[in-house]
Amino acid sequence: MNLTGGLAWHWLAWRSEARWAPTSLAIENWLLSNAQTSSPSNPENRPSLLLIGASAGWMMSSLWLQKFAKVDTFDIDPRAALLFKWRHGKALQANGTELHCHTRDALQDLPALLSANPKACVFFDNVLGQLRFQNQATDWQQVERRLKQLKVQLKGREWGSLHDRMSGPCTRPIALDSALPIRHPDWHDQHWLTQLDAQSPWLDHLTQDVFPTGVSVQNFAWNFSANYRHWLQAGWVRP
């Protein structure tokens, strides 16, 4: 059973598009200005991208994907490929970006994917924070070790990730049109959680050590439902 995607995810994402739009837009802006690959003037030399945990790309930006010459998406969900093509295929075709969608466990197969695509950038799209649900509840340390290991596996590579840092219920209802909380750079985590109206305890997604030290990390609020928020983090690593 897929605990982090599948039909339930597609249904929820489709129904929540309006509620999630401010976060999707903030992610798009961040991708376009921070996850900018060394953009060569010659479009023929654009890099390629391995997009892991792509699903249908419900919160992914076509504009950003257009920066790549070729995009290979990976998801364990067999419905994801068709839905991703439906949502992003036209925009990518219009821009001459090749699109290949694969049904595959890209975390397990990461070493093989990296050696088969030695120059490709990699982006983990809201998948690393889900690892804790795919392991037994008591294997948290193992999950943390696996997540820490990724930066070692990806050494020398241009890569990024967007993932859950924490999530949980809120102390008051979140109006559909309420402004997204924005984290001030000076705030420590507790201050940020207060701004998110976090009602303790929040779930730790075990992703605190995904990025190498020194990588600039962006924080996003995600109004997941009328009374539940996620704290997302994103970073882009250059070799």
Ligand X SMILES: C[S@@+](CC[C@H](N)C(=O)[O-])C[C@H]1O[C@@H](n2cnc3c(N)ncnc32)[C@H](O)[C@@H]1O
Can you give the binding site for ligand X, defined by CB under 6 A?
2, 4-5, 9, 13, 52-60, 74-77, 80, 105-107, 125-127, 130
Nearer to ligand X, 145 or 191 (CB): 145
Nearer to ligand X, 142 or 195 (CB): 142
Minimum separation from the CB atom of position 99 to ligand X (A): 15
Pairing of strands 48-52, 159-169: unpaired
Buried b (16+ CB within 10 A) or exposed e, 155-189: eebbbbbbbbbbbbebeeebeeeeeebebeeeeee
Are 4 and 48 in contact by the 8 Å Cβ rule? The answer is: no
Nearest 5°: phi and psi at 222?
-130, 110
Minimum separation from the CB atom of position 126 to ligand X (A): 4
Residue 214's Cβ-count burial label (10 Å; 0-12, 13-18, 19+) is: exposed
Nearest 5°: phi and psi at 153?
-60, -30
Residue nearest to ligand X (CB): 5
Nearer to ligand X, 170 or 234 (CB): 234
Nearer to ligand X, 17 or 45 (CB): 17
Minimum separation from the CB atom of position 16 to ligand X (A): 11
Minimum separation from the CB atom of position 178 to ligand X (A): 22
